[in-house]
Amino acid sequence: MQRPSARPSPGSAQASAPGAQAPSDSSPRERATPRRQVSRAVATLEREPQPLDLPGGSSEHRATRRFGLIEPGAAEPSGTLREVWRAVRAGLETVLLSWLIAVVPVVATYVATVASPVLGESSWADATAQGTRAWLLGWGEPFPVSDSAPVTLVPLVLPLIAFALIGGALRRAELLHAWAAAITGGVMALGLVVGYLSVGASPTVRGTLIALALLGLGVARAWFALPWVSMPGPVTVHRGLRAASRTLIALVALGVAAVLYAILRDLAATVEIHQALRADVLSGSLLVLAELALLPTFGVWAAAFFLTPGFHIGLAQASPLEVVVGPLPVLPIFAAFPNEQDAHGLIVAAVPLLVVAALLVPALCAAHTWLDRAITGGTALAGFVLGMTGLAWLSGGWSEGASVGPLSDVGTAASEVALAALVVGVLGAGLALAVSLGLQRWGVPERAREVLDRHLGADSAARGVLRAVRHPLRSLRDARR
């Protein structure tokens, strides 16, 4: 479509040349001015949609497509329906993938042990039902091994996988409205209801609360993580929430690293237990996969160990103050259970204290008033305590550990972890405040910002490396594009 121009055409220029008289049937007032020509052209297009010839197409022969000019209001219903469909598809994708991740290992275990006489008349449907119950356990619903001894310990790997799937699904769906993300959460909740109906189970109060909390937290985190969505509220609250989430991730990652170190330290005992089980290739692979899936839960247990409350596995107890050795389940990874030499006392609490202080200092350095410091520090402290309490509750219980069949008191006590996290968080926030005030007095943040801007410019290779380290998945997607 060519826009009407006020510039006269060559023909009209010749007609208006000196000595020639331009024919005009209208008065000078009615003669079309450039602005009036544009107005008439726009009115004509609005009244009668015209086809537009634009280059396009996927052909290498430069085939053209013809686009019709439509009114903006006519595209809104179809755009809304498309976004609803994308939201529903994101929810279905998340539910099905998370369900398959829980069901496939159970079915594989059934295949590996199908000849065992213990299974009796078990079938594929029974294996799928058990996998569905394991999937519901990841959302907080107890797994009924028997009427009196259910499994209440939530494997944290399943909610973490669901969170990652929600984030990826919302990014691919390119949702633009919060109500569309709510539709995704509703579809996932409907998938959980279908899971309950398929196994004939009734949701418990604990399972319902945990599922709603995980769904709400996962959808909200995925929605606000989208690059085109901005979080509501003041920036001081945002800094505090980011500091709290980074502290939780760092502390749990440190716990996982401690568990891996303990496994390597007692690798001979771990391998000996593996060999004593005499598992074939498939069974041994599934056993290793199950142990890897338990690493996030063990990471929370190790974080509780650093915070000094520790954790229990039946009669066995591990904390920095005391280690009580007792009978343990026949799982090779339990060969890395702490021994008496690992009880180093309260000095172990310095690890989470330094983590809290180190990750809170940048947020407090960005605050320049006492009110901003109070809001940032208070938000970070509240987020850290609530997050650590929730993780401890999922990895154990409130006043005592969870139950794993006949084995009771397994995991952490959330009430003790909450109190320890509050004390460590307050001390760490005080240390971070003192350090940030000293750095601001010496002008370190401003000088550091100048150095970063000078040596890590927007187009520098070092900036690209740092961006790739911070966001590896996003960097891979950009490189693929």
What does the pLDDT look like over 287-314, one tens digit per residue? 888 888 889 999 999 999 999 999 988 8
Which pLDDT belongs to residue 470? 56
Question: How many Å is the maximal CA-CA distance in the chain?
Answer: 114
Q: What is the pLDDT of residues 82-94, one digit of tens each?
A: 889 999 999 999 9
Structure tokens at 82: 């498309």
DSSP state of 4: P
134 and 261 both lie in a single domain: no
64 and 84 both lie in a single domain: no
Cα dihedral 245/251/257/262 (nearest 10): -150
The residue length of the chain stands at 481
405 and 358 both lie in a single domain: yes
Q: Are 293 and 157 in contact (CB under 8 A)?
A: yes
Q: Are 414 and 425 in contact (CB under 8 A)?
A: no
Residues 451, 439: Cα–Cα separation, whole Å: 15
Taking 50 as the pLDDT cut, the residues of the chain under it are: 1-32, 46, 49-77
Has residue 457 been placed in a domain?
A: no
259 and 383 both lie in a single domain: yes
User: Quick one: how far is CA 67 from the chain centroid?
Assistant: 40
167 and 216 both lie in a single domain: yes
320 and 436 both lie in a single domain: yes
Has residue 475 been placed in a domain?
A: no
Structure tokens at 20: 């020639």
Q: Are 356 and 240 in contact (CB under 8 A)?
A: no
59 and 170 both lie in a single domain: no
253 and 213 both lie in a single domain: no
Which pLDDT belongs to residue 206? 85
Say how many domains are in the chain: 3
Q: Is 296 exposed, middle or buried (0-12, 13-18, 19+ CB in 10 A)?
A: buried
Which pLDDT belongs to residue 428? 94
Residues 141, 126: Cα–Cα separation, whole Å: 18
Q: Could you say which of 230, 255, 276 is where a domain stops?
A: 230
275 and 350 both lie in a single domain: yes
Has residue 477 been placed in a domain?
A: no
Count CB atoms within 10 A of the CB of residue 15.
13
> How far are the Cα atoms of 14, 18, 248 from residue 24, in angstroms, in the given order?
15, 16, 81
- Residue 28's SS3 state is coil
Q: Smallest Cα–Cα separation from 132: which of 158, 160, 93, 171?
A: 158
Helix (H) or strand (E) holding 318: strand 316-318
Q: Smallest Cα–Cα separation from 320: which of 312, 338, 304, 308?
A: 308
Has residue 471 been placed in a domain?
A: no
Q: Is 205 exposed, middle or buried (0-12, 13-18, 19+ CB in 10 A)?
A: exposed
Which pLDDT belongs to residue 353? 94
Has residue 24 been placed in a domain?
A: no
Residues 61, 73: Cα–Cα separation, whole Å: 34
Structure tokens at 190: 């409907």
Which pLDDT belongs to residue 287? 85
Q: Could you say which of 194, 213, 230 is where a domain stops?
A: 230
Which pLDDT belongs to residue 400? 74
Q: What is the pLDDT of residues 387-421, one digit of tens each?
A: 999 999 988 878 777 878 777 788 898 999 999 99
Q: How far apart are the first and last CA of the chain?
A: 31
Q: Tokens 């290992």 label which residue?
A: 105
Has residue 479 been placed in a domain?
A: no
146 and 220 both lie in a single domain: yes
Which pLDDT belongs to residue 35? 54
Q: Domain range for residue 205?
A: 75-230
Which pLDDT belongs to residue 124? 78
158 and 307 both lie in a single domain: no
Structure tokens at 340: 């008496």
Q: Could you say which of 203, 230, 257 is where a domain stops?
A: 230
Has residue 22 been placed in a domain?
A: no
Has residue 465 been placed in a domain?
A: no
Residues 426, 115: Cα–Cα separation, whole Å: 57
- 312 bridge partner residues: 317, 411
262 and 359 both lie in a single domain: yes
